[in-house]
Amino acid sequence: MGEMKIPATALFGAQTQRAVENFTITQDVMPWSFIDAVLHIKLAAAKTNGDLGLLTKEQSIRICTAVDFILERKPLDQFPVSVYQTGSGTSTNMNVNEVIAKISSQKDAPISANDHINLCQSSNDVIPSAIQISAARKTTQQLIPALKSLIQTINGFANNHRDVIKTGRTHLMDALPIKLIDECKAWSSQLEECIERLESALPRLMRLPLGGTAVGSGANCHPEFAKKTIRTLSRILELDFTQARSLFKGLSSLDSVVEHMSHLKTCAICMSKIANDLRFMNSGPHNGFGEIQLPALQPGSSIMPAKINPVIPEAVLMAAARVIGNDATMSIAGLGGNFQLNTMLPLAAATILESINLLSESAHALSEKTIKGITVNRDKLASALPHNPILVTSLTPYIGYNKAAEIAKIAEKERRPLIEVALEQTEIPKEKLQQLLDPQHLADGGLATHT
């Protein structure tokens, strides 16, 4: 296709340079975690092809040594191809092939990017496999541990305040009393279910279409290549990868990636719930709920002195919004499967890996910079409880709904404690009323037996 001028410092070749010059929609390049996955495929492939006698022992060793060198040095500038490139990701596959070939070649024994590095492979099976490998690795090594750490932090905070009773809220309005520990354990339960969803999807995500080559038929691929390469990847990366049940499906469909992304979206929605609860509980401090005080991390206003805002929950909400938007992007990427290939693979890779990063760092920020530093305003919580008109709920089995509502209205209008009005309006003994209207009693979830 003609000569190409390549920078003197470049380890890549003509195909990469063409991609750099052609794909200029954005400067956003493929994430390193994705390049890392492609490199590991090349490493495992070189070992397999050496074992199968398709490469000489020396060629196999030189390729593996070159990949190890790249993985250790992480020369990001040598992988300049934009996310918005050819839909198969061929430019990125060849970028990796060219860099490995340059490093592993010797003057009298060149290594070919196509004939040696790409042996028994195609961009069409390498790139979707790399998407699934990178997403599985980041989910297991980064996101799930971050979620578990956040759960541990929430539960630790909850257990340290297990005696705190507060006003529950539905529709943002006062409701029955609850325990702070129960409110927090709801958050951690949400996160635990997020982990369950992610783990349930991992086996499908780890079914790799390696061996399908160009269209799924396995043309130009040794019959033992995929099995041996996937076994090597599983050993090196310490994950249980398997071969896709249908290689045609693996090349043309992003279903497993779309499914995994949907669970990431659910996780984002879960974190939004937690972040918003924290914002409301922290609001005020004098004219809001003021139940807790979040750590003061930075000034909140350029004009209002002493104003402190819930900056970490706000940042988490923005990250969650991005992930939720990424789910829509991934759904459209999933629609890019036509016949034997999906042609939105680079976008799918960038989208899911960004989402995993955002959620992992959001979990870390909530844990380390928010929940660990919360101060509970116990006096404010306790002082508000006796004046909550919803406490009359416990009286309805004895005096009926309408009478209980009447007592609540009188107490609210006259700004009097409920128990005073209830003593005037009912024949229930004071000792019994004290028991029924005790916030602790209601927070424990039980109404006393009818008498």
Assigned domain for 40 exists: no
Same domain, 261 and 393: no
Question: What pLDDT shows up at residue 446?
Answer: 65
Average pLDDT of the residues in 403-422: 93
Assigned domain for 86 exists: no
pLDDT tens digits, 119-143: 999 999 999 999 999 999 999 999 9
Assigned domain for 184 exists: yes
The total number of structural domains that make up the chain: 2
Q: Which residues contact 183 (CB under 8 A, 6 or more apart)?
A: 166, 168, 277
Query: What is the value of pTM for the model shown?
Result: 0.96
Same domain, 151 and 282: yes
Residue keyed to tokens 């975690």: 33
Same domain, 370 and 299: yes
Task: Look at residues 379, 409, 428 and tell me which one is the last residue of a structural domain.
Answer: 379
Same domain, 346 and 263: yes
Q: What is the CATH number of the domain that holds 186?
A: 1.20.200.10
Question: What pLDDT shows up at residue 447?
Answer: 55
Q: What is the CATH number of the domain that holds 401?
A: 1.10.40.30
Q: How far apart are CA 308 and CA 300, in angstroms?
A: 5
Q: Which residues contact 407 (CB under 8 A, 6 or more apart)?
A: 392, 395, 399, 418, 421, 422, 425, 426
* Both tokens assigned to 295: 């750590």
pLDDT tens digits, 372-381: 999 999 999 9
Same domain, 336 and 419: no
Same domain, 278 and 185: yes
Identify the domain containing residue 147 by its residue range. 128-202+248-379
Question: pLDDT band at residue 16, thresholds of 50, 70 and 90?
Answer: very high
Same domain, 261 and 357: yes
Options 189, 200, 301, 383, the catalytic residue: 301
* Both tokens assigned to 304: 């209002």
Q: Which residues contact 319 (CB under 8 A, 6 or more apart)?
A: 268, 271, 358, 359, 361, 362
**pLDDT at residue 449 above 90?**
no
**pLDDT at residue 12 above 60?**
yes
Question: What pLDDT shows up at residue 450?
Answer: 45
Same domain, 264 and 284: yes
Dihedral of alpha carbons 27, 32, 36, 37, sign: negative
Same domain, 312 and 351: yes
Annotated catalytic, 387? no
Same domain, 325 and 429: no
Nearest CA to 98 out of 23, 36, 48, 39 is that of: 39
State the chain's mean pLDDT as an integer. 96
Options 171, 286, 302, 450, the catalytic residue: 171
Q: Which residues contact 47 (CB under 8 A, 6 or more apart)?
A: 60, 64, 229, 232
Assigned domain for 157 exists: yes
Assigned domain for 161 exists: yes
Average pLDDT of the residues in 152-170: 97
Task: Look at residues 356, 379, 402 and tell me which one is the last residue of a structural domain.
Answer: 379
Assigned domain for 54 exists: no
Average pLDDT of the residues in 196-211: 98
| Amino acid identity for residue 214 in this structure | A
* Both tokens assigned to 9: 């410092």
Annotated catalytic, 260? no
**pLDDT at residue 206 above 70?**
yes
pLDDT tens digits, 259-286: 999 999 999 999 999 999 999 999 999 8
Q: How far apart are CA 181 and CA 158, in angstroms?
A: 5
Least confident piece of the model among 99-103, 239-243, 442-446? 442-446
Same domain, 323 and 192: yes
Question: What pLDDT shows up at residue 325?
Answer: 98
Residues of the chain above pLDDT 70, percent:
99
Assigned domain for 105 exists: no
> Which DSSP state fits 392?
G
Q: How far is CA 91 from CA 17, 108, 168, 256, in A?
A: 9, 27, 56, 23
Same domain, 339 and 418: no
Question: pLDDT band at residue 1, thresholds of 50, 70 and 90?
Answer: confident
320 within 8 A of 302, measured Cβ to Cβ:
no
Assigned domain for 81 exists: no
Question: pLDDT band at residue 451, thresholds of 50, 70 and 90?
Answer: very low
Average pLDDT of the residues in 6-29: 97
Q: Which residues contact 438 (CB under 8 A, 6 or more apart)?
A: none
Nearest CA to 59 out of 71, 73, 48 is that of: 48
Task: Look at residues 346, 379, 412 and tell me which one is the last residue of a structural domain.
Answer: 379
